[in-house]
Amino acid sequence: MTVDPAKPYDPDNIFAKILRGEIPCNTVYEDEHALAFHDINPQAPVHILVVPKGAYVSWDDFSASASEAEIAGFVRAVGHVAREQGLVVRGYRLLGNIGRNGGQEVPHLHIHLFGGGPLGPMLAG
Ligand code: 5GP
């Protein structure tokens, strides 16, 4: 089921549980503002999810309501993970799904970071 970004944040979503340590994940990076971990169902040789630590449903929610420090911290964390994973020289792709048309399934903001090989056309049709 896809996410309705107008709904209030559900503290029992799967990424909230990962952030609370109730469900395991394969962590690649963590700081005050963000957690990055491998996607359970990778769509590319490297497929990492970066999530903010705050309770934000989507990019819409985050960009409207997060503090400057949270936004800066999250954006810097995404860039840091890409560099740390050695993805910059050959390039990589960031993707954010928002709401129904975006196909968002987990109602906690996450950015997909894809890399490790050619990623093909932007949209698969
Ligand atoms: P969305 O469609 O919401 O943008 O992407 C959700 C992503 O979360 C999917 O790529 C899916 O494979 C991943 N995912 C769902 N549940 C889990 C989980 O429990 N652990 C991890 N690591 N990834 C998950």
Name all domains of the chain by residue range, CATH numbers in brackets: 14-115 (3.30.428.10)
CB 112 within 8 A of CB 49: yes
Which tokens go with 43? 């769509």
Q: Which of 40, 47, 61, 97 for mutating ligand 1's site (highest number of atoms within 8 Å of CB)?
A: 40
What is the DSSP-derived secondary structure letter of residue 29?
A: E
What per-residue confidence (pLDDT) applies to 125? 65
Instruction: Return d(Cα 94, Cα 48) in angstroms, integer.
Output: 10
* Type of residue found at 47: H
Environment class of 56 (CB within 10 Å of its CB; exposed 0-12, middle 13-18, buried 19+): buried
47 belongs to the catalytic site:
no
Instruction: Return d(Cα 54, Cα 66) in angstroms, integer.
Output: 8
* Active-site entry in 38, 108, 110, 112: 110
Q: Which atom of ligand 1 is nearest the CA belonging to 110?
A: 4
What per-residue confidence (pLDDT) applies to 60? 94
Q: Which atom of ligand 1 is nearest the CA belonging to 96?
A: 4
pLDDT tens for the chain, residues 1 to 125 = 788 777 899 999 999 999 999 999 999 999 999 999 999 999 999 999 999 999 999 999 999 999 999 999 999 999 999 999 999 999 999 999 999 999 999 999 999 999 999 999 998 76
Enter the pTM of the model: 0.97
Q: Beta strands of 26-110 (E only): which ranges?
A: 27-30, 34-38, 46-52, 93-95
